[in-house]
Structure 1
Amino acid sequence: MTTYLISDLHLCEEATDSTALFFRFMHEKASKAQALYVLGDLFEAWVGDDDDDAFNAKVMATFRAFADHGGKLAFVHGNRDFLLGEGFADSCGGRLLADETVVELAGQRTLLLHGDQLCSDDMDYQHFREMVRSPAWRQAFLAKPLAERKAIAADLRRKSHDSQQNKAEYITDVNPQTLELHMARHDVWHCIHGHTHRPAVHGFTLRGKAAERIVLGDWHHSAKIVKCDVEMELVTLV
């Protein structure tokens, strides 16, 4: 049976191309799959499970239909939707995974993660990530009114976009040494992540053995996703 891995959809009502591609994928591809892993940044922003926006509800209902037909569904937090909670996962019929989770795919123990923690050269972002992932920050933010949370999220997105324009490409990409440390910690030779929007299959040597890193792509007119049955393959979704 087929398993799909996707990330960086950045869904929002205004993103009509990626939204249409998502619903088509769920109907035509995912509906026939055994499992689906969403490796972060499903939404352009997520400000709390109490956001009952009609667009969010439609996305959640689509996932629920997949789960109700027997599909296994799992989510990993991204840098845009790190506030996804158990309420969201339960409503979709899925489960939240740890930020770094090892699963078996095509007979290989494989590390799944969003990937932002691997971009260790971007020190400003790593400090920001540490702050917003803290329980204290999360509790204080979720205590704010929904409208205020949405305004803060929009402001953070603007600032993030502006800051990215002035950073060298290597700073916003994966640090090879950090990647190797994470893979060694989990005792794996295969890794799948998103975040960088630079889809590719990277082969390298790790601890004297052949290793592989697959990077998922972001969604617009098309997307790069992983299809896994007898092997892991990066495929284009249009």
Structure 2
Amino acid sequence: MSRTLFIADIHLCQQEPAITAGFLHFLQREAHQADALYILGDLFEVWIGDDDPNPLHAQVAAALSALPLPVYFIHGNRDFLLGKRYARASGMQLLPEEQVLSAYGHRVLIMHGDTLCTDDQGYQRFRRKVHQRWLQTLFLALPLFLRQKVATRMRADSQQANQHKSQAIMDVNAAAVQEAMQRHQVSLLIHGHTHRPAVHVSAKGERAVLGAWHERGSMIVLDASGIRLVEFPF
């Protein structure tokens, strides 16, 4: 059966080899049979530049480029610096932060999901700052070891800040969800980021949320019959 797959929040890193093994197995078993694969951000735990010689990056690029289907990527909040060089090596097509698809009779809005968390004003201020082009250019011009130090410090600061935030604040804002769906005139939204896998159904449509790949894999399958959220062991 014809189907398209969506994943997000894999958070690949060398410190979690089980997740890497599970992801590579997913590419070989599940993705290989799909019409297309959409990665909705945070494929990697951290990204400090396409010139990072991390062997994990080359391993993942080889596995993605070997797929006999189109692969699309939307940046997450962890890997927003992933650039055209790595996309070419991986055979991925970079998409804007909001993209509308027409597939199997469905009109679908896809995104990472962090822009929907508008109640977390501190995070939104931080996001606006680090998405400034001049600041990204300046950061990428730094030596790799300095970029790594900055990224490690920023991650520690983020973890500490999140400890003092309520779960509600870090979830999506209902009005932001409705505004995005109305703006794009869709009744189906797929995103990640919040790590709260579920399919929410309302009179205004469906919102499908991908899970993070912490202890198991998570994907959303879209076909002619609709969508379904699937979790599976590594």
- Is residue 213 of structure 1 aligned with residue 207 of structure 2? yes
Deviation at 1:51, TM superposition (A): 1.1
How far apart are the structure 2 equivalents of 1:172 and 1:202? 17
Give the drift of 1:93.
1.0
- Deviation at residue 237 of structure 1 after TM alignment: 2.0
The aligned amino acid for 1:217 is G
Q: Give 2:44's aligned amino acid.
A: F
Alpha carbons 1:8, 1:42 under 8 Å: kept? yes
Shift of 1:158: 1.0
SS where residue 25 of structure 1 aligns? Answer: helix
- The alpha-carbon deviation at position 86 of structure 1 amounts to 1.1
Paired residue for 2:77? 79
Residues 233 and 106 (structure 1 numbering): CA distance in 2 closer, same or farther, change over 3 Å? farther
Residue matched to 1:152: 150
**Partner Cα separation in structure 1 for residue 118 and residue 156 of structure 2:** 22
Query: TM-score by structure 2 length?
Result: 0.96
1:109 is aligned to 2:107 = yes
AA aligned opposite 2:220: V
Q: 1:237 maps to what in 2?
A: 232
Distance 1:205 1:56 in 2: 42
Letter in 1 for 2:201: G
Contact map agreement 1:194 1:216 (CA 8 A) in 2: yes
Structure 1, unaligned stretches of length 5 or more?
Answer: none
Q: Structure 1-normalised TM-score?
A: 0.94
Give SS of 1:169's match: coil
CA RMSD of aligned residues (A): 1.0
Which amino acid counterpart does residue 202 of structure 1 have in structure 2? H
Corresponding residue of 2:34: 33
Q: Which amino acid aligns with 1:214?
A: A
**Correspondence 1:60 to 2:58:** no
CA contact (8 A) 1:76 1:114 kept: yes
Please say if residues 17 and 220 of structure 1, whose CA atoms lie closer than 8 Å, have aligned partners that are also in contact: no
Cα displacement string for residues 166-202 of structure 1 (whole angstroms, at most 9, x for unaligned residues): 1011100000001111111111111000000000000
Gaps of at least 5 residues in structure 2 are: none
Instruction: Count the aligned residue pairs.
Output: 231
Aligned partner letter, 2:33: K
| 1:135 aligned partner | 133
Tell me the distance in 1 between the aligned counterparts of 2:148 and 2:191: 27
CA-CA distance at 1:121 after TM superposition = 0.4
Confirm or deny that 1:21 pairs with 2:22: yes
